[in-house]
Amino acid sequence: MEPTEPNVNNLSSSSIEISMPMEYHKVVLPPPRSTLQKLKNRFKETFFPDDPLRQFKGQPLKRKWILGAQYLFPMLQWGPKYSFKLFKSDIVSGLTIASLAIPQGISYAKLANLPPIIGLYSSFVPPLVYALFGSSRDLAVGPVSITSLILGSMLRQEVSPTKEPLLFLQLAFTSTFFAGIVQASLGILRLGFIIDFLSKATLIGFMAGAAIIVSLQQLKALLGIEHFTKQMGLVPVLSSVFHTTKEWSWQTIVMGFCSLLLLLVARHVSLKRPKLFWVSAGAPLVSVILSTLLVFAFKAQNHGISVIGKLQEGVNPPSWNMLTFHGSHLGLVLKTGLITGIISLTEGIAVGRTFAAIRNYQVDGNKEMIAMGLMNIVGSCTSCYVTTGAFSRSAVNHNAGAKTAASNIVMAVTVMVTLLFLMPLFRYTPNVILGAIIVTAVIGLIDIPAAFLIWKIDKFDFLVLVCAFLGVIFISVQNGLSIAVGMSLFKILLQICRPKTVMLGNIPGTDIYRNLHQYKEARRIPGFLILSVESPINFANSNYLKERISRWLEEYEEEEGVEKHSDLQFVILDMTAVSAIDTSGVSLIKELKKTMLKRGLELVLINPVGEVMEKLQRANQAQDIMPADCLYLTVGEAVASLSSMIKGKASI
C-alpha cells in the first residue's frame, strides 16, 4: 500500500488516525547458506568489494593473460593506443612539472635534513616506476613537504644530520624501504581501509599545523641565522629566532622578502585565473635562476648569503648496500617507515582520486598502494627517500593537459638531463630561495574554509582538527597526529558502545512512523512504546541498550501518571537499522522478553535483516526466544495487527 502524505493542518492531540494495511507480510528467513559460504561472502565483501576478478569471467585463456598483464601493468592499457597527439600533451605537462619539481626537490630534501641532491634523485627514479604500475593519469610523483618534515624530524630525534650525516642517510633510505613495504603490503593484502582511519578533520588539522611548523623552520634560511634550534615546536623555534637577532642578515632578508613576494603573487594569479597555471608552476624555477645569477654576479656568498654549494653530478648511485636492518636504530626506522608510509599513501591516493573524479575515470586504490610501495622500495635502493603524489605538482600536471602517466616519464627524463649536465648551475643557488619556495608551497595546506565548514557540521570533528593542529605545533608532528587519530577512534568506539535509540510516533493519516523529536507532527500510539535501534547490537553495547530501553519504559510510565494505571501493552523494537547481532545481542533480546513478561508487556520485533533474523531463529529453536506472531515487516503492520487483536479481545 502506498503511504499518503500527512495532513499537518488537521492534527489533533485527542484523536490519532492510523491507516490500516490491507494485508500483513511475514518476516521470512534468508535462503540457507553453509558456514563456508558465509565466510567466503564476508571475506569477499571485506577485502574485495570491487571484485577485481569480474573482468576475467567468461573470457578465453589468451584474453585472461592479456587482462592479467594489464591489471598488473596499467601502462599496457594505454600504451598500445598511445599517439603523437597524446605525446604532445604529455611532453608539455611533463616539462612544466619538471620546472616545479627541480626546485621543490632540492628544497624538500633540505627540509628532511638530507643533501639537496637526494631531492633530485627522488624526482627521477620513482616517477618511472609509478608510470609503469600506477593507475592515475594526473598524479605527479616526487618528494612532498609533509613526509619530508616527518622523516627529518623523527630521525633527528636520535641521530644528528650534521654530526653523523652518513648514518642519517642510511636511516633515511632504510625508513623509505620500510615505508614501501608497508604500502605494498596494504595493497597486496587489500588492507587499504586502514588509511581511512585518518579522517578528513585529522588531515586538515595535521596539514595546517605541519604547514606552520615548516614555515617557521624556514626562518633560519629567510633570516640568515646560522645557529638555529633543532626542535620542531612553536615555542622553541620562536625563542631561537628572537635569541639570535644578532645573526640576522639584511641582505638575506631582502632577497627572501622579494622571493616570497614574487612566488606569492604568482600563486595568487594562478588561483584567480586557472588558465595561467604556468605562472605559479614556473615561478620557483624563475626565482632560482634569477637569485643564482644575482649571487654569482655580485659575489653575494661573500656578503652573508649562504648558498647550496657544489652538487654531485650524475644519476642515482645504488644505495641497497646502505640499508640497515639491525642495530639500535631498527625500531626508529620501522616507526618512521610506518608513519611516513601511511601519511604519504593517504595524500597520494587522495590526490589521485580527486583528479580522477574531475576527469571521470577510476583510480584503483589497491593498485596505487602497490605502485607507491614499489616505487619507494626501488627508490630506497637508488638513493631516494619517501615519495608520493604531490598535490601542487599534480594540479599543475592536470592543468597542463596531461593525458597519461607518460608525463611522469617526461619529467623524469628532464630531471635526468639536469643531473647529468646542469648540476654546476645550482652551485650558487642561495638557501634563502629554497626556504621561500617551501613556505609558498605549504601555505596551500592551510585550509581555513574547510575547517570552518567542519565547525558548522560537526563540533566533535572540529575538536579532533584542533587537537591535531595544536599537537603538531606545540608537541611534535607524530604525537599531534597520534592524538588526533586516537580521538577519531574514540569517537567511533563511542558510537558503537552508545548507539542511538529513538522513540517513534505515527504521522497521522499514514502508516509512517518517525522520530518524535525530529517530526513534531508525529504522535504516540496509546498502548504502544515504539523504539528504534540504529546500530548493530553486540557485546559492546548490549548492556547499554538494556538500560536505555528500561529507562524508556520508566519515562513512559512516569508520563502516564502515578495515579492511573498505564495502558501500555506492547513494546515494539524496530530493528531495520540493526545490520548485525552477536550472541550478546541475542541474549539481550532474550532478557528483554523476560523483563517485558514480568511487567505484563509483550515484546515485538520489526524487520530483522537476514543475518539478524537467522541468528534469532537459531536461538528461538533452542530457547523459544521470539514466537513468529511477534515478528512484523513494518511498524505500521504491527500496530494495525496488534490494535485489531486488542479490539477483538475487548469485544469478547
DSSP for 156-197? Answer: HTTS-TTTSHHHHHHHHHHHHHHHHHHHHHHHHTT-GGGGGG
pLDDT score for 649: 61
Sign of CA dihedral 92, 96, 101, 102: positive
Q: How sure is the predictor about 180, in pLDDT bands with cuts at 50, 70 and 90?
A: very high
pLDDT score for 627: 60
- In which region does residue 144 sit, left (phi positive, over 0), alpha (psi from -120 to 50) or beta (all else)? beta
How many residues does this entry show for the chain?
652
pLDDT score for 29: 62
For range 294-317, the mean pLDDT: 83
Q: Do residues 437 and 289 touch, judged by C-beta distance below 8 A?
A: no
Helices (H), 197-329: 200-217, 219-223, 234-243, 250-272, 277-298
Q: Grid coordinates standing for 637?
A: 503492520
Neighbours of 513 (CB within 10 A): 26
The residue that leads in pLDDT, 5 or 300, is 300
pLDDT above 90: residue 56: no
Interval 9-21: pLDDT, tens: 333 333 344 444 4
pLDDT score for 26: 61
CA-CA distance, 360 to 354, in Å (whole number)? 10
pLDDT score for 376: 96
Q: Grid coordinates standing for 14?
A: 485527542
Interval 421-479: pLDDT, tens: 888 888 888 888 888 888 887 787 788 898 999 999 988 889 989 988 998 888 877 77
Radius of gyration of the chain (CA): 32
The SS3 of residue 12 is coil
For range 101-118, the mean pLDDT: 89
Burial of 648 (0-12, 13-18, 19+ CB in 10 A): exposed
Interval 582-624: pLDDT, tens: 899 889 988 898 888 888 888 899 888 878 888 887 777 655 5
pLDDT above 70: residue 560: no
The position carrying cell 640576522 is 248
pLDDT score for 3: 43
pLDDT above 70: residue 298: yes
CA-CA distance, 521 to 16, in Å (whole number)? 11
pLDDT above 50: residue 278: yes
The pair phi, psi for residue 504, each rounded to 5°, is -105, 150
Identify the DSSP state of 581: B
CA-CA distance, 133 to 371, in Å (whole number)? 5
Among 361, 458, 456, which residue's Cα sits nearest to residue 134?
Answer: 361
pLDDT score for 321: 92
Residues 6+ apart with CB under 8 A from 57: none
Helices (H), 498-604: 542-560, 583-598
pLDDT score for 322: 92
pLDDT score for 652: 56
The SS3 of residue 490 is helix
- Measured between alpha carbons, how far is residue 286 from residues 168, 244, 291, 387, 538 in Å? 32, 31, 8, 24, 61
Interval 90-108: pLDDT, tens: 898 888 888 888 888 888 8
pLDDT score for 511: 85
pLDDT score for 143: 93
| Residue 432 one-letter amino acid | V
* pTM of the shown model: 0.75
pLDDT above 90: residue 211: no
CA-CA distance, 190 to 225, in Å (whole number)? 48
CA-CA distance, 313 to 405, in Å (whole number)? 27
DSSP for 305-329, written as a single string: --B------SSPPP-GGG---SSTT
Q: Do residues 136 and 405 touch, judged by C-beta distance below 8 A?
A: yes
The SS3 of residue 636 is helix
The SS3 of residue 475 is coil
- Of 3.30.413.10, 3.30.70.1380, 2.60.120.280, 3.30.750.24, the CATH number of 499-651 is 3.30.750.24
Per domain, the residue ranges of the chain are 84-493, 499-651
The pair phi, psi for residue 8, each rounded to 5°, is -70, -25
Q: How sure is the predictor about 573, in pLDDT bands with cuts at 50, 70 and 90?
A: very high
pLDDT above 90: residue 263: no
Query: Which residues of 390-545 form beta strands (DSSP E)?
Result: 501-506, 513-515, 528-533
First to last CA, the chain: 30
Interval 365-405: pLDDT, tens: 788 899 999 999 999 999 999 999 887 788 888 877 888 88
pLDDT score for 84: 86
pLDDT score for 372: 94
| Residue 308 one-letter amino acid | I
pLDDT score for 55: 64
Name the average pLDDT for the chain.
82
CA dihedral 142, 145, 151, 157 (to 10 degrees): 160
Widest CA span of the chain, in angstroms?
Answer: 110
pLDDT score for 19: 43
Lowest pLDDT segment from 322-331, 514-523, 629-638 = 629-638
pLDDT score for 268: 86
| Residue 140 one-letter amino acid | A
Interval 38-52: pLDDT, tens: 676 666 665 555 556
pLDDT above 70: residue 30: no
For range 258-268, the mean pLDDT: 88
Q: Grid coordinates standing for 220?
A: 633560519
Among 263, 295, 274, 328, which residue's Cα sits nearest to residue 100?
Answer: 263
The SS3 of residue 607 is coil
For range 289-316, the mean pLDDT: 84
